[in-house]
Amino acid sequence: MTESAGMPILEAAEGARDQHMVINMGPQHPATHGVLRLVLEIDGEIVVRIYPEIGYLHTGIEKTCEAKFYQQVVPLTDRINYLDPLSNNLCYALAVEKLLGLEIPAKATWMRVLMAELSRLNSHLIWLGTHAMDIGALTVFLYTFREREEILRLFEAVAGQRMMLSYIRIGGLSLEPPLDFLDRVQGFIQTFPEKIDEYANLLTGNPIFRNRLKGVGYLSAADAIALGVTGPPLRASGVDFDLRRDIPYCGYEKFKFAVPVSTDGDCWARYEVRLVEMRESVKIIQQVLDGMPEGPVKADAPKIVLPDREKMKTQMEALIHHFKIVTEGFEVPAGEVYQGIEAGHGQTGYYVVSDGTAKPYRVHMRYPSFATLQALETMCKGRMLADVVAVIGSIDIVLGEIDR
């Protein structure tokens, strides 16, 4: 094997050279959730080392951002973590709004929370379905995708898009939600807790599922912090930290919800934590529906937020602002900000540097899967090769956000 083949660690460990074997897993492998390639050094069936080889989906989004106006970056963010699109929109919008010092109307903030939580449910449903499918429980996949379809229909109702919504924009939302939207969400969350029970009935008591997850992929709290693990895997390792509660953004301090924590640190703990998280998301959505304020969904900043179509056709100034924003963008005060949020997979962060022009000088995205992937070796070392599949499923990675 030559150096250029990208396998430099394949000098086997001291003294064990003859017994160890190096195998390749991915990038085309159904259990790697995308195009992840793992180079595994194994001793029989025991994993000795894992070397993740990433970059197959690298599209240079950070470089592209530097050539776009601030508002043109929003659709790019959708495509990074395509399973949780609204968290990406939200994080970017919050970062730029921090630079602009923009005040967001209450209804827009509440709608953002509602959409972010629906997006989290969407992300967790895909995780549950694919994770169970990797383990061999195919049925759950069909059930979770049934509920996901409901969520996608809700997304379509507000934004006209099912996956790449770009619904959360700088300064608010792109459109008013339709009149029956809140009733439809109410209808969805009324039945959703029963659906979670249904998944739990299929999986929690299932002896195969239990045996494949219990005690597998252990990660201690100290290791989780050292390796940059965030989100559900961090909480499953016993660290009680959730940005929504501890450093609230976007008005999360107004809502009451529990943060599930487990000290077991294994795949089973991650499964349980995410199931409880789905129930807590439903509680947040219910609170949003109960207290949804009235008012506009866009900030009163005509030089930043695109005017309504109606106004554009009747008012001269609105037409001028529309033309200016589309052709010249808007200037953002110079400075640097970092905005972290709790997305479905963990802590997402946008680092935006402005030089005072209409295009961002630098946009860097911190995505949870990128850091969590580093913990894979710690979790799989000394375990069976088949456990690698269970562990990859349990840390819930999306290659789009790793490679960007």
Partner 1 sequence: MSEALTTTLAKPTLKDKTAVLEGLGDHPAVKAIARWNLEALTDAKFEFGELTLTIAAEKLSVALATLQTAGYNFFEDMTAVDWFPASPRFQLSYQLLSHALKEYVRVRVLLDEADPSVESITPLWPAANFYEREVFDLFGIRFDGHPNLRRILLPDEFTGHPLRKDYPVEGYR
Q: Which residues contact 164 (CB under 8 A, 6 or more apart)?
A: 75, 78, 79, 82, 85
Is residue 218 at the binding interface for partner 1, with CB under 8 A as the rule? no
Residue 206 vs 315, nearer CB to partner 1: 315
Evaluate whether 302 touches 317 at the Cβ level (below 8 Å).
yes
- Judged by CB under 8 A, which of 98, 184, 195, 311 binds partner 1? 98
Is residue 145 at the binding interface for partner 1, with CB under 8 A as the rule? no
Record the tokens describing residue 133, joined without a space.
Answer: 């499918």
What is the distance between the alpha carbons of residues 312 and 257, in angstroms, rounded to a whole number? Answer: 42
Footprint of partner 1 on 348-367 (CB under 8 A) = 349, 351, 353, 361-362, 364, 366
Helix (H) / strand (E) containing 20 = strand 20-25
What is the distance between the alpha carbons of residues 313 and 384, in angstroms, rounded to a whole number? Answer: 65
Q: Which residues contact 43 (CB under 8 A, 6 or more apart)?
A: 16, 19, 20, 21
- Judged by CB under 8 A, which of 35, 50, 99, 306 binds partner 1? 99
- Judged by CB under 8 A, which of 25, 113, 165, 299 binds partner 1? 299
Evaluate whether 337 touches 357 at the Cβ level (below 8 Å).
no
- Judged by CB under 8 A, which of 55, 136, 187, 193 binds partner 1? 55
Q: Residues binding partner 1: what is the number (CB under 8 A)?
A: 53
Q: Contact region for partner 1 (CB under 8 A) — 55-63, 115-123, 290-298, 384-392? A: 55-63
Footprint of partner 1 on 9-38 (CB under 8 A) = 9
Q: Which residues contact 223 (CB under 8 A, 6 or more apart)?
A: 229, 237, 375, 378
Residue 166 vs 230, nearer CB to partner 1: 230
- In 3D space, the residue among 114, 108, 109 whose CA is nearest the CA of residue 151 turns out to be 114
Which residues are near partner 1 by CB under 8 A? Answer: 3-4, 6, 8-9, 54-55, 58, 60, 62-64, 66-67, 98-103, 225-228, 230, 239, 241, 246-247, 299-302, 317, 335-338, 340, 347, 349, 351, 353, 361-362, 364, 366, 370-371, 373-374, 403-404
